Structure 1
Amino acid sequence: MISIHLKYEIDADKLADFEEYGRRWIRLVNRFGGTHHGYFLPSEGDSDIAYALFSFPSMAAYERYRTDSTTDPECQAAFELARTTRCIKRYERRFLRPLDTGTEAPPAKTPA
């Protein structure tokens, strides 16, 4: 599994536009086979920083999503929303590997 962490610098005066952008991408990432863990918007503290976190089963699945999103009309509309409203000033993308939680049963031991 690969998780993608995005840090956004947003225009605080265009928070409603960014919220709409986020709502669209949550649905789109899930439609493309990922799991969106949500957008995290400013509350207390910095008024212009937001985060998003989503996962795909593999880097190959993520790369398929990225390629397919370039021709998908709904994805293009979400990109256009950000471009026309200028709600996003910049963003950073990080790729993370989740730590195994250790909740899976250990492999069965074979008799000696």
Structure 2
Amino acid sequence: MITCYLRYIVDPYQLPAFEAYGKLWIRLVEKFGGKHHGYFMPSEGVSNVALAMFSFPSLAAYEDYRKRSFDDPECQAAFAMNEKDRFILSYERSFFRPVFEDDQGVRRAP
């Protein structure tokens, strides 16, 4: 399993627009076989950083989702929301391998 961590710098004056965008992507990631763990909006502290995390069974499955999302009309509409309103100023994407208590000592290849 691979988990994608997204850290967004967002326009703090457009948080409702970003939140609507995030709600769309939760369903869209799951439509392509991922498991979304949610978006995390600014609350206390910095007002312009938001996070999202979602998992796919493998990096290859994630790459397939990315490729297919560029041709999907619903994904294109979500991309267009930000193109129009520019509520995402920048973002960084990182990948992690989750560790669970019930892994029973199974070592996964890096």
Q: TM-score, normalised by structure 1?
A: 0.90
| 1:33-112 → structure 2 map (5 Å cutoff) | 33-99=33-99, 101-104=100-103
Cα separation, 1, equivalents of 2:10 and 2:62: 24
DSSP-derived class of the 2:55 partner: strand
Does 2:20 correspond to 1:20?
Answer: yes
Cα separation, 2, equivalents of 1:89 and 1:105: 42
Count of paired positions? 106
Gaps spanning 5+ residues in structure 1: where? 108-112
DSSP-derived class of the 1:71 partner: coil
Gaps spanning 5+ residues in structure 2: where? none
DSSP-derived class of the 1:103 partner: helix
Instruction: Give the CA deviation at 1:86.
Output: 0.5
Cα separation, 2, equivalents of 1:90 and 1:106: 38
Cα pair distance change 1:103/1:46, threshold 3 Å: same
4+ residue stretches of structure 1 with deviation over 4 A?
Answer: 104-107
Computed over aligned residues only, the root mean square deviation of the Cα atoms, in angstroms, reads 1.4
Tell which structure's C-alpha radius of gyration is larger. 1
Cα pair distance change 1:13/1:67, threshold 3 Å: same
Instruction: Give the CA deviation at 1:103.
Output: 1.5
Partner AA of 1:83 in structure 2: E
- 1:14-49 CA-to-partner distances (Å, cap 9, x unmatched) read 011101110000000011000000000000000000
Instruction: Give the CA deviation at 1:102.
Output: 3.8
